[in-house]
């Protein structure tokens, strides 16, 4: 058997679309020559080297590199096999990218170029990273990313239309969420820690504790009523907070500023004693009486029977929220967090009971100095 015939029998058969591996043996301005173990040399035109626009083949391959290519055609006349590195990469890339998309798996890419609106990269196919998805915050100058390796995630994929959108921001958000979950899991419910006020809302305050933002609801800002969080704190303030709840899965932390400070029942309640006559502010009015704030967060109850020596059907008939009143302390029980107060007895500092007199307002007020029950409750008595 002749050597020529033997060579023909040993030569593999190639057809358009076949995938073949080869070794780069030569690189010039317009093409790359590859040894594919065939009777003809393989040629990869520059346009078939990458899904991206390149100026020179050396940008993507070098002599000695092993490359996977796809057979475009066999040119018997020029004794060459036209190959495509781009098509071969695309055939294997889409399947892998779809899997990464479905599993939300981050992977590393090298930024090839900066174009209008974002970054481009070669992942077997052209991948585009919009400027809005490059970082957690918008980046004005993208040039610093050119040539850099970054971790991205597939956020949109359409193989049929050769569309691939990648996001570095999604990876950063995922890493941030994982770090936050670890931090939240490390928080001990019931412990008191220091945090920094980040922002205020109408429903509360967000405080940074160890790198995560926890919410202090407006009802947990202070022992006293707070209408607007700005009354208590401002962004940047260092505050003590108590960990009420920590949910790593939901990424939520509930905090309390008031629980991190002594209750007024532990301190201010001991400032008041039975018999004291003090000034307070009506905070809540209910049918059976009114709650009067003596100090911030410390309220006592004036029962409806203690409002006046005259009959009062409902506290709201004579009292309203925000009204300043003088009250006499009847009893203090810090353990049960109760203070009993009297408005009618506050008028007589001696504390003696005054029997109601069925006389006119003029009679009750004549010959006296200062305010009387009649002065305090003129509207009520006029109704009668």
pTM of this structure: 0.59
Q: Which CATH number fits domain 268-383: 2.40.50.140, 3.40.50.360, 3.60.21.10, 2.40.30.40?
A: 2.40.50.140
Q: Give 288's DSSP letter.
A: T
Query: Tens-of-pLDDT digits for all 384 residues of the chain?
Result: 444 434 443 456 788 888 999 999 999 999 999 999 888 889 999 999 988 888 899 988 999 999 999 999 988 878 889 999 988 988 889 989 999 999 999 999 999 999 999 999 999 899 999 999 999 998 988 999 999 999 999 999 999 898 999 999 999 999 998 998 999 999 999 999 999 999 999 999 999 998 899 999 999 999 888 889 999 999 999 999 999 999 988 889 999 999 998 888 888 778 899 999 999 999 999 989 999 999 888 999 999 999 999 999 999 999 999 999 999 999 999 888 899 999 999 976 544 444 433 333 233 333 333 344 444 444 444 444
Inter-residue contact 174 to 181 (CB < 8 Å) = no
Q: Give 334's DSSP letter.
A: T
Question: HSE of 99 in the Cβ direction (CA atoms, 13 Å)?
Answer: 6
Inter-residue contact 181 to 249 (CB < 8 Å) = yes
pLDDT value of position 230: 94
Range 104-173: architecture per CATH: Beta Barrel (2.40)
Inter-residue contact 342 to 306 (CB < 8 Å) = yes
The rounded distance, in Å, linking the Cα atoms of 91 and 161 is 14
Backbone angles phi, psi at 281, to 5 degrees: -125, 130
Q: Which residues have C-beta within 8 Å of that of residue 236, sequence separation ≥ 6?
A: 196, 197
Strands 192-201, 163-167: pairing is: unpaired
| Superfamily classification of domain 188-256 | Nucleic acid-binding proteins (2.40.50.140)
pLDDT value of position 363: 37
Q: Six-digit token pair at 337?
A: 């967090």
pLDDT value of position 165: 97
pLDDT value of position 348: 63
Q: Report angle CA 241, 247, 252 to the nearest 5 degrees.
A: 60
pLDDT value of position 12: 64
pLDDT value of position 264: 87
Topology agreement, domain 104-173 and domain 188-256: yes
Quick one: which of 150, 147, 142 has its CA closest to 112?
147
Q: Is 162 left (phi over 0), alpha (psi -120 to 50) or beta?
A: left
Q: Which residues have C-beta within 8 Å of that of residue 286, sequence separation ≥ 6?
A: 315
The rounded distance, in Å, linking the Cα atoms of 345 and 342 is 6
Q: Which residues have C-beta within 8 Å of that of residue 254, sequence separation ≥ 6?
A: 214, 215, 217, 243, 244, 245, 246
The rounded distance, in Å, linking the Cα atoms of 52 and 60 is 10
Other C-beta atoms closer than 10 Å to the C-beta of 225 total 15
Inter-residue contact 14 to 38 (CB < 8 Å) = yes
Q: Which CATH number fits domain 3-88: 3.40.50.2300, 1.10.1740.10, 3.30.70.3270, 2.40.50.140?
A: 2.40.50.140
pLDDT value of position 347: 77
pLDDT value of position 39: 86
Q: Which residues have C-beta within 8 Å of that of residue 321, sequence separation ≥ 6?
A: 282, 283, 284, 285
pLDDT value of position 51: 87
What residue ranges do the domains of the chain occupy?
3-88, 104-173, 188-256, 268-383
Q: Six-digit token pair at 175?
A: 């890493």
pLDDT digits (tens, 9 = 90+) for 290-299: 999 998 889 9
């Amino acid at each position: 058997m002749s050597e020529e015939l033997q060579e023909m029998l040993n030569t593999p058969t190639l057809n358009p679309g076949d995938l073949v591996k080869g070794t780069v043996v030569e690189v010039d301005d317009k093409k790359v020559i590859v040894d594919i173990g065939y009777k003809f040399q393989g040629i990869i035109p520059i346009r078939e080297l990458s899904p991206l626009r390149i100026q020179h083949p050396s940008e993507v391959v070098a002599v000695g590199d092993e490359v996977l290519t796809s057979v475009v055609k066999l040119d018997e006349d020029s004794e060459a096999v036209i190959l495509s590195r781009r098509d071969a990469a695309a055939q294997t890339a889409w399947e892998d990218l779809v899997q990464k998309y479905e599993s939300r798996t981050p992977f590393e890419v090298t930024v090839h170029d900066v174009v209008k609106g974002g970054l481009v990269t070669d992942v077997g196919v052209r991948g585009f990273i919009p400027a809005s998805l490059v970082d957690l915050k918008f980046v004005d100058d993208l040039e610093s990313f050119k040539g850099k390796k970054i971790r991205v995630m597939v956020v949109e994929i359409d193989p049929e239309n050769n569309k691939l959108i990648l996001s570095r921001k999604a990876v950063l958000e995922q890493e941030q969420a994982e770090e936050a979950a670890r931090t939240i899991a490390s928080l001990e419910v019931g412990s008191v820690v220091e945090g920094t006020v980040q922002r205020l809302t109408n429903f509360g305050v967000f405080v940074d504790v160890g790198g995560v933002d926890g919410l202090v609801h407006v009802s947990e800002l202070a022992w006293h009523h707070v209408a607007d969080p700005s009354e208590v704190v401002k962004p940047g303030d260092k505050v003590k907070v108590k960990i009420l709840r920590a949910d790593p899965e939901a990424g939520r932390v509930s905090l309390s500023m008031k629980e991190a400070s002594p209750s007024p029942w532990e301190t201010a309640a001991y400032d008041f004693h039975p018999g004291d006559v003090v000034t307070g502010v009506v905070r809540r009015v209910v049918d059976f009486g009114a709650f009067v704030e003596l100090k911030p967060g410390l309220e006592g109850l004036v029962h409806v029977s203690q409002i006046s020596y005259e009959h009062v059907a409902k506290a709201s008939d004579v009292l309203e929220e925000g009204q300043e009143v003088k009250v006499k302390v009847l009893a203090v029980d810090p353990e049960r967090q109760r203070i009993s107060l009297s408005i009618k007895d506050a008028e007589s500092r001696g504390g003696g009971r005054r029997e109601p007199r069925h006389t006119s307002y003029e009679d009750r007020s004549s010959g006296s100095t200062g305010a009387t029950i009649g002065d305090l409750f003129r509207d009520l008595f006029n109704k009668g």
